[in-house]
Structure 1
Amino acid sequence: MSAIAYLRRYWQLYALLVLPLTYFIIFKYGPMYGIQIAFKDFNFFQGIHRSEWIGFEAFREVFGMRDFYLTLRNTLMLNFLDLLVSFPAPLILAILLYELKAVWFKKLSQTILYIPHFISWVIIGGIVYQVFGTESGMVNNLLMSLGFEAVPFLTDKSDWLITYLLVGVWQSAGWGTIIYLAALTGINKELFEAAGIDGAGRLKRIWHITLPGLKPTIVVLLIINLGHMISIGFERPYVIGNLAVREYSDVLSTFVYRIGIESGQYTLATVVGLFQAVVGLIFVLGANYTSKKLTDESIL
């Protein structure tokens, strides 16, 4: 079949690609024009094209800032801890939900677990302060009424770190189970039946059938998560963080906000953004290459 005949036969499929391609061109590739701000002394009134070229001077200025390395450390630390705590949570939840026999209870549990994903981080931040606040939080009020001392969940660095991670699990774990549950439906149920006939218990079926069946999905999601190690969402550390724990809560996204939006140093903010993009790409390619060599699973 010639290329023209093929296009005529399946033109509807190519037509469906118009909207997503348009979206990527406008919102993903179009903004790449602004990358040159990192190499210019950007003036808001002169615009990108007319601003003066300064080469790598802004890079030297950013890499000479103490705050940059502090926020870089915090970004890597929080993302690494999130990977250890939040990454396995949806996998475990998905397996538990899959093993449930009562359909009504499974649907109810899924609904309850999904809800936090749709709540804004601003609202979640308000809930966190109402529940874990040192002076007025529900948990500390209960502890003090029982004769215990208040726990500084949001003002002590170690306690804040634990609170940050657990809130992240609560917000994201339920939604993350969707991908794993979809992958679980693709596993042949006859394998579970055959294993049961051979005397394999539930844990052995999970270990020898469920987990190997989820291996490609786990690898892909792990590679994607590793690609985000150098970037971090702005809302979560900004809303839950405060001056008392700024040594841990100040990350690259809040650093960009301070120097870009608050201080108007758009060139420096673009340098940090470009740094995150390049390092993130290196992380993805490195993780993909390592995974392909060790497990023969990859996304490229």
Structure 2
Amino acid sequence: MKTKKKRKKGSTMRALRRDISLWLFCIPGVVLTFIFSYIPMYGVQLAFRRYNAKAGIWGSPWVGLYYFKRFFESPYFSSTIKNTLVLSLYGLIVSFPIPIILALLLNSFRHKKYRKLIQTVTYAPNFISTVVMCGMIILFLSPSVGVINNIVQFFGGDPVNFMAKKEYWRHIYVWTGIWQGMGWSSVIYFAALSGISPELHEAAKCDGATKLQLIRHIDLPSIMPTATVLLIMNCGSILSIGFEKAYLLQNDLNLNVSEIISTYVYKVGLINNDMSYSTAIGLFNTLVNLVMLLIVNKAADKLSGNSLW
């Protein structure tokens, strides 16, 4: 027994020495994750305390689930949850397949020069900052100087204040996000497609397969494990919509559909200085995302055999 343990320890040490450069390469990521993801967990207890800056976190009185009950009984609870879910599900349903379709189409496009040009054009919007992107959206949709309204007026229509119409706001948010991110999101699918053996395509072509049949029977099944993992991860953050874009496109006229959990937490926590209440909402958001991640991961494992763990 002792001999086996010594052998196991010796093999472990040899593996560590052999891969020491890889372990050193991982250290910065581990340190950053610990600093920015694990140390802040200390502050989660704010959700269960009536925070007082003078007394500090430990000195603040314990109130249990008071702030969770307050959020559940708040008139903003149903509206923020509904807006967040609708926006997130709409974005997920529409934006998830588009990078896959783009990657499959460009992968089957044989003119390398034009393929690189299209890839560059679709990647470029990803490097526009959120603030600049929102400024562009507001400017393009402006009822007075916006390009879209100039086109509408050219064809005899009346200018429309798109940002003031709550029925347009979700579409604007989601489709501008797709335009900005579809090229960059397709990169991982290109990587998966590049791993497919050319022999499979050659054998299928010899059997008379068309381009659509190659995509359906070779390319698509090859990237399904990657797509499944990304879908699980997206479902695990279903209530965690980015704060910046929603807040910057928000105004009093579209507030009924644009007030989501992240913008509400910002207003409650930083503007109203109610740290405990905002922490409770954030913790509730995290717990819902965790439950969704576990459910979708289990379902994906049973249906397709692909999962995160």
TM-score (norm 1): 0.96
Correspondence for 1:225 among 228, 234, 237 = 234
Q: Which residue is 1:254 aligned to?
A: 263
Q: Does the 8 Å contact 1:152/1:159 carry over to 2?
A: no
Q: What is the Cα deviation at residue 49 of structure 1?
A: 1.9
1:180 aligns with 2:189: yes
User: What is the aligned-residue RMSD (CA, Å)?
Assistant: 1.3
Q: What is the Cα deviation at residue 56 of structure 1?
A: 0.9
Q: Which residue is 1:121 aligned to?
A: 130
Q: Which runs of 5+ in 2 are unaligned?
A: 1-6
Which whole-Å CA distance do the structure 2 matches of 1:160 and 1:54 have between them?
38
Q: What is the Cα deviation at residue 171 of structure 1?
A: 1.1
Q: What is the Cα deviation at residue 254 of structure 1?
A: 0.4
Q: What is the Cα deviation at residue 201 of structure 1?
A: 0.8
Letter of the 2:263 counterpart = T
Correspondence 1:251-290 to 2 at 5 A:
251-290=260-299
Q: Which runs of 5+ in 1 are unaligned?
A: none
Consecutive aligned runs of 4 or more in structure 1 exceeding 6 Å deviation: none
3-state SS in 2 of match to 1:17: helix
Correspondence 1:173-252 to 2 at 5 A:
173-252=182-261
Correspondence for 1:52 among 57, 61, 74 = 61
Letter of the 1:71 counterpart = T
Which whole-Å CA distance do the structure 2 matches of 1:7 and 1:234 have between them?
42
Q: What is the Cα deviation at residue 76 of structure 1?
A: 0.5
Which whole-Å CA distance do the structure 2 matches of 1:266 and 1:284 have between them?
27
3-state SS in 2 of match to 1:221: helix
Which whole-Å CA distance do the structure 2 matches of 1:7 and 1:208 have between them?
41
Q: Which residue is 1:155 aligned to?
A: 164
Which whole-Å CA distance do the structure 2 matches of 1:214 and 1:7 have between them?
33
Q: How many equivalent residue pairs? A: 300
Of 12-21 and 116-125, the range deviating more from structure 2 = 12-21
Which whole-Å CA distance do the structure 2 matches of 1:9 and 1:84 have between them?
45
Which whole-Å CA distance do the structure 2 matches of 1:144 and 1:264 have between them?
46
Identity of aligned residues (%): 39
Correspondence for 1:132 among 141, 150, 153 = 141
Which whole-Å CA distance do the structure 1 matches of 2:78 and 2:183 have between them?
33
Correspondence for 2:179 among 166, 170, 174 = 170
1:15 aligns with 2:24: yes
Q: What is the Cα deviation at residue 134 of structure 1?
A: 2.3
Correspondence 1:8-87 to 2 at 5 A:
8-87=17-96
TM-score (norm 2): 0.93
Q: What is the Cα deviation at residue 82 of structure 1?
A: 0.2
Please list the CA deviations of residues 244-264 of structure 1 after superposition, one character each: whole Å capped at 9, or x if unmatched. Answer: 111111100000011001000
Q: What is the Cα deviation at residue 18 of structure 1?
A: 1.7
